[in-house]
Every structure is written in structure tokens, then in C-alpha cells.
A and B are shown apart, each in its own frame.
Chain A
Amino acid sequence: MSFYLSAVILGLGFASLAMGIFISMRIFNIPDITTDGSFTLGGVVAAVLISGGHSPLVALPIAFLAGAIAGALTGIIHTRLKVNALLAGILVMTALYSINLALMGRSNLPLINTPTIFNSLFIPGTEIQQQFIVLIIIISIILVTLVWLMKTDFGLAMRATGNNEKMIRALGVNTDVMKIFGLALANGLTAVSGYLITQVQGFADINMGIGIVIIGLGSVMIGQILFSFKRKETIMIQLLGVIVGSILFRMILAFALSIGIDAIYLKLVVAIFVLAVVSIPNIKSKA
């Protein structure tokens, strides 16, 4: 059982990344690949600060800030220098590779006998139980904060920027600044995910972010499909869907691993699962 709990824990760890991708891709309609770099950046910040003796609690906002700066950079390159969004993201992600290596001083940094956010908050229980509870708390806080943000006037302006830029400009919003903010927020959340995963796995590695944007996208897609039967798709429902999607993604992989499917085929397994979930409502309505 704790095997599937581990999968849930990983899913929660990646949920912040999924929410970040939700913001950049679905709210702002910006395909942002900075993710691979900012995820690693969050992990690197965590590893460097924690193994340097600093409190994990202090490292959390710093990780967020680091990711936010990376995202803002992509935003600035895209809006001010008029570089295509995809390219801007790749540029920053590439630059981050060197920055991450320089920060760590090596390509891999294990956390040996250090405190983590999980054991620093006086939560009782085994290591896995602590991880589960702390992750639930953190993800819940992020969820509630984002839902509140989207309800504010500022949040409405954010959503309109991605939905109808012409209109919101005519309503007085500097959409360039809005996009920069959006990318900063998205990548800050991604970095938080890196921060959390580093502490779950016990090390930061320069390659930990490779392919991570696909994982985020998959989670967002699964979440979208799961909750699309609800008539009223509020932001709360959508974000919950993303979180559940992230957890489900890891559970499917866990199941596939447990029955011995070669990891090569894992991505295929996910594709088939998503296809199944997508087509079932369509088949039902035809019947």
C-alpha cells in the first residue's frame, strides 16, 4: 500500500508544476518551456541552501522567487524583445542549465542527514506520513491562494489577457506586464515543485527537469478530461482537476511499473489511458 502512497506523494509533489503549466498554457495561452529549467532551479536552490545549513522553510520562498525571476525573464524576452514565446522559453531554459550547474558546483547534490520541510514542521508519523500530510497542506494552500487570486479584479484581468487580449487592452490593461507576471507566477510554482521533489528524493540532479513539461501537460490534460462532465467549470474545479491529474498520472505509472511494463512503454501507457478517458464519454453519447 505504501507503494501507491509513494505515487500519490510524487503526484502531490508535481502538482505545483502542473498548476504552473495550467497557468501559462491554459490561462495565458503561452506555450512555455522554461519549465524544464525552472523546475531544476527550484531543486538546486533547495539542495544548495539546505545542505548549506539553512532552514528548508527559508528555502521555500527563495525557490519560488528564483523560478519567478526565470519566468519573468522569459516574459520580458517574449514581450519586450518580441521573441516568439517558445523560443524565449528555450533560451532561458538553456541558460538555466549553466546557472544550475554553477550553483550546485557539481551535477548532483545529495541531501545527507539534513532537515527537510517534511520533518521540520512537527508533524507526527513515519517519513511517508509526514511527506503526505505536509504536501497536502502545501498544495491546499497553493490551491486556495490561486482560486482567490483568480476571483480578484487582477485575476480577472489575467484570465482575460489569455482569453481576449484585444478586449482587455481596450479595458486598460498593459498585457505585456500581465504576461510577464503570469509567466513569473507559473515558473515560481514550477520551482516550488522542484524544491519539493528534491526533498522527497533526497538529491538534486542537473537532469531532473528533463521532460518535465510533458508530465505537467499530461496532468493538465487528464484533469481537464476528468472534470469536464461538470457543467460549471469554475477555477476551483479546474485546478482540482489538475492536482488529481498529477496524482493519477503517477498512479498509472506506478501500476504499469508494478506489472513489469518496460519503462520505454510507459509514455505509451499514459497515451492509451488518456485516449481511453477521452473516448469513453464520446462512445457513451453515440450509444
Chain B
Amino acid sequence: MIELKGISKTFNKNSANENQLLNDFNLTIRKNEFTLIVGSNGSGKSTLFNLLAGTIIPDSGQILIDEKDISSVKDFRRSKWIARIFQDPLSGTAPELSILENFRLASIRTQSKSLRIGTDRKFKDQIREKIAGLGLGLENKLDQSMGSLSGGQRQALTILMATSDDTRLLLLDEPVAALDPKTATTIMKLANEIIRKSNLTAIMVTHSMRDVMEYGDRLIMLKNGEIDRDLSGSDKKKVQLNDLYDWFGE
């Protein structure tokens, strides 16, 4: 369970650009829930995302994971619980390392990086099986460098990598926005499958109305740093494309 309690964040304090994006913001994400967050630019969704990831620290309030306060934990340390998928499909993988090596690093995300050689035969077989599940034919290219793959392929692998180690929360920041429509559809489908299969608690920020319609258990709409609408279960299923456009226009 992920909780944000009384979060406030102001940018450029005491200057002409002072902007309080979030003020006493509260939100609880339930376990195994796939939550989608939408909102126009400046609504606070990126700030929310970065606060969860730890690249921004709140001015006041708490962030808790399974009742543990991680508000002041640095970003690279939050990787113990949190995995991130970035919008740039190239930023989730190291291009000069091979697919196998990338997966090795992902599989020890929550552990210390020791002097053992982890890319042995046993590990390679495990990863081959795992990647074969994507159906993209990449399981035969384990020793190839990540850089030789397309953006879509790399993003797909990034999402799969996110399930490699104990993940309490998966953050997806517009994961397919930079891909062409066909690839975007394929990758989003894959992402959803992976999330469901591994029962992950996931939060995805998106601009795609179609994805909002098709995926997720819960829809949160942000406006001016506040939760404007919060729909779950059957309420969310009832949402139509027109409704979304209307709400955005309000």
C-alpha cells in the first residue's frame, strides 16, 4: 500500500515564479491496483510522479510504502521498492551492455552489486525463458548490445526488467508516448500483460485517452494540484471517451 499524506511542494520559493504545485495532497494506492493518472500540463502529475520516485523531496508531508516512511529517502535508494519506466524508451536500458547484462543489473536492483559473476549459464537460461514470453524473438539475442534494438523493443525489455526483482511499486511515466502508434499499442498491451501476470502495484501517467479507456483499475484525474475525479471498478469501466474530453475541457 502506497500513501501520500499531507504533501506540499512549492517551486521557486520567494521568487517571481513561485508556484505551489501541491498543497496538503493526500492519496492512497491499494496493493495490486493498476492506477492511471491523467491531467493537463501543470496539473501536478509529473511532480507527483517525481515525488514518488524520489527525485524531488516534499516540503512537508509524508510518503509511505507499506507503512514505512520513505519521504526523505534518496532516489537511488528507493529502488529497493520502486521500479521506474521512463518516457524515453532509451533511458531504461544501457545501450553498450548486452540484453543479458541489462537484465542481470535489473535482477539485483534491490541488492548490493557484489564481485560475483552473475551472468552464468543458469541465469542466462532463466532470462531466455522470461524474454521468450514476450513473443518478440529477442530471447536469441541475449548477447547483443541493447543499443542495437529499436525503441519499442528496448521499452518492452525495460518493462520486463522491472519485474525482475522484488517490486512494491511500478511507476510508468507515459511509457509509450515516444513510440509510433503501432509499436505503442503493442508495447502497452505487453506492459499490461506483464503487470497483470506479476500482480504488480502500478501507477501510470498517460496522455492517451484510449489507453485510459482500455487499461487500469482506477482512474485519477488531477487539476491544479488536486484530485478532481477518482474512479474505480465499475465506475471506471463506465467512462466514455466523450466524458474524458468533457472533463478535460472543464
A, B co-complexed? yes
- A264 adjacent to chain B (CB < 8 Å): no
**Given A153-B117, A164-B93, A172-B80: 5 more A-B contacts, CB < 8 Å:** A152-B118, A159-B94, A159-B101, A172-B76, A172-B113
Q: Which of A154, A166, A167 contacts B113 (CB 8 A)?
A: A154
Q: Which of B96-128 contact A (CB under 8 A)?
A: 96-97, 101, 104-106, 108-111, 113-119
Q: Which of A232-284 contact B (CB under 8 A)?
A: 232
Determine the distance from Cα of A153 to Cα of B106 in the docked complex, in whole angstroms: 11
Q: Which residues of A contact B113 (CB under 8 A)?
A: 153-154, 156-157, 172-173
**In the complex, B86 has a CB within 8 A of chain A:** yes
B77-A172 in contact (CB<8A) = yes
Closest chain B residue to A161, Cβ basis? B94
Q: Which of B80, B94, B104 contacts A167 (CB 8 A)?
A: B94
Q: Do A173 and B76 touch (CB < 8 A)?
A: yes
B51 to chain A, nearest CB (A): 15
Query: Can you report 19 residue pairs joining A to B where beta carbons are below 8 Å apart?
Result: A151-B119, A152-B117, A153-B116, A153-B118, A154-B114, A156-B101, A156-B104, A157-B113, A159-B101, A163-B94, A164-B95, A170-B75, A170-B76, A171-B105, A172-B80, A172-B109, A172-B110, A175-B76, A232-B143
**Is B91 close to A, CB under 8 A?**
yes
Residues of B that sit less than 8 Å from A by CB: 53, 75-77, 79-80, 83-84, 86, 91-97, 101, 104-106, 108-111, 113-119, 143
Residues on B with C-beta less than 8 A from A159 are: 94, 96-97, 101
For the complex of A and B, 6 pairs with smallest distance between CB atoms: A172-B79, A157-B113, A163-B94, A169-B76, A164-B94, A153-B113
Give a binary string over A151-195; 1 marks a CB under 8 Å from any B CB, 0 the rest: 111101101100110111111111100000000000000000000
B92 CB contact (under 8 Å) in A149, A163, A167: A167
Main secondary structure, interface of B, reads loop
The residue from A154, A167, A172, A175 contacting B91, defined by CB atoms under 8 A apart: A167
Q: Which residue of B lies closest to A158 (CB)?
A: B113
- List residues of chain B with CB within 8 A of the CB of A154: 113-115
**Residue in contact with A170 in the complex, picked from B79, B101, B104, B111, CB distance below 8 Å:** B79
- Alpha-carbon distance A152/B110, docked complex (angstroms): 16
Nearest chain B residue, comparing its CB with the CB of A176:
B76
**Cβ–Cβ contact A171 & B109, under 8 A:** yes
Q: Which residues of A contact B114 (CB under 8 A)?
A: 152-154
Q: How far is the CB of A123 from chain B (nearest CB, A)?
A: 31
Binding site secondary structure of chain A: helix
Q: What A residues does B97 contact at CB under 8 A?
A: 156, 159-160, 163
Q: How far does the alpha carbon of A94 sit from the alpha carbon of B83 in the complex, in Å?
A: 43
B188: min CB distance to chain A, Å? 21
Number of residues of chain A lying within 8 A (CB) of chain B: 23
Tell me how far the C-beta of B108 lies from the nearest C-beta in chain A, rounded to whole angstroms: 6
Which residues of the other chain, B, contact A173 by a CB distance below 8 angstroms? 76, 113
Q: Closest CB-CB distance, B178 to chain A, in whole Å?
A: 15
* Given the contacts A159-B94, A164-B91, A164-B93, A152 and B80 also touching, CB distance less than 8 Å: no
Residues of B close to A167: CB separation below 8 A = 91-94
Bound-state CA distance A175–B94 (Å) is: 14
Q: What residues on B are CB-neighbors of A151 within 8 Å?
A: 117, 119
CB within 8 Å of B: which of A197-217? none
Residue of A whose beta carbon sits closest to that of B79: A172
The answer to whether B93 touches A174, judged by C-beta atoms less than 8 angstroms apart, is: no
Asked if A168 and B94 make an inter-chain contact with CB atoms under 8 angstroms apart, the answer reads yes
Choose from B53, B84, B94, B108 the contact partner of A153 (Cβ within 8 Å).
Answer: B108
Chain B residues near A160 (CB-CB < 8 A): 94, 97, 105
Could you tell me if B84 and A170 are in contact, using CB atoms closer than 8 angstroms? Answer: yes
A166 touches B105 (CB 8 A): no
Contacts of B116 in A (CB 8 A): 152-153
Q: Taking the nearest CB of chain B, how far is it from the CB of A71, in angstroms?
A: 20
The CA-CA distance from A169 to B109 in the complex, in Å, is 10
In angstroms, how far is the closest chain B Cβ from the Cβ of A278? 21
Inside 8 A of A156's CB, which chain B residues have their CB? 97, 101, 104-105, 113, 118-119
B contact residues around A163 at 8 Å (CB): 94-97
CB-defined contacts of A152 to chain B, threshold 8 Å = 114-118
Q: What's the Cα separation between A152 and B119 when bound, in Å?
A: 8
